[in-house]
Amino acid sequence: MLLKMLKAKIHRAVVTEANIDYVGSITIDQDLMDAAGIYEYEAVLVADLDNGNRLETYVIAGARGQRDICLNGAAAKLIKVGDQVIIMAFCRLNEQEIKQHQPQVVFVDNQNNITEIKSYEQHGQIK
């Protein structure tokens, strides 16, 4: 049996752009993607801390060092510039893999600069 588990998240990123005219997706700075272990075109869940909206989309790589978080297409109607979001990627693991699994967590400041990278241990403890 495979279970859907948190793989990685970028915690409290600030949305820098919302582009309704783009086809769709979320654009994330490539440095942030690398730190979290999130791949281009990977599906992610985005939770808006300001209004409670949640949406699923896929990732487009943004320019390195720009610290951009851009909601594109219909997502731009749910999440606005300046909102804080949690971006979560998931994976499917079997019960043996779950025992060793430690999701990667990237913490950022209000300018989307990485402040800390940690892993969750079992029972929600951060190391």
pLDDT per position as a tens digit, 15-58: 999 999 998 799 999 999 999 999 999 999 999 999 999 999 99
Which listed residue (25, 39, 119, 120) is catalytic?
25
* Overall domain count for the chain: 1
Q: Look up residue 111 and give its two tokens.
A: 């300018």
58 is catalytic: yes
What pLDDT is recorded for position 81?
Answer: 98
Percent of the chain with pLDDT over 70: 94
- Asked if pLDDT for residue 118 goes beyond 80, the answer is yes
What pLDDT is recorded for position 126?
Answer: 59
Sign of CA dihedral 123, 46, 84, 29: positive
Q: What are phi and psi of 51, to 5 degrees?
A: -125, 0
* 24 residue type, one letter: G
Q: Look up residue 15 and give its two tokens.
A: 């949305």
CATH of the domain at 34: 2.40.40.20
Which listed residue (22, 39, 41, 58) is catalytic?
58
pTM of the model: 0.93
What pLDDT is recorded for position 60?
Answer: 97
25-29: strand order across its sheet:
17-19, 69-72, 25-29, 54-62, 43-48, 84-94, 2-14, 104-108, 114-119
- Asked if pLDDT for residue 122 goes beyond 70, the answer is no
Which domain does 105 fall in, by range? 2-124
25 is catalytic: yes
List all residues 6 or more positions away from 61 whose beta carbon is below 8 Å from its beta carbon.
27, 28, 30, 33, 40
CA distance 41 to 61: 8
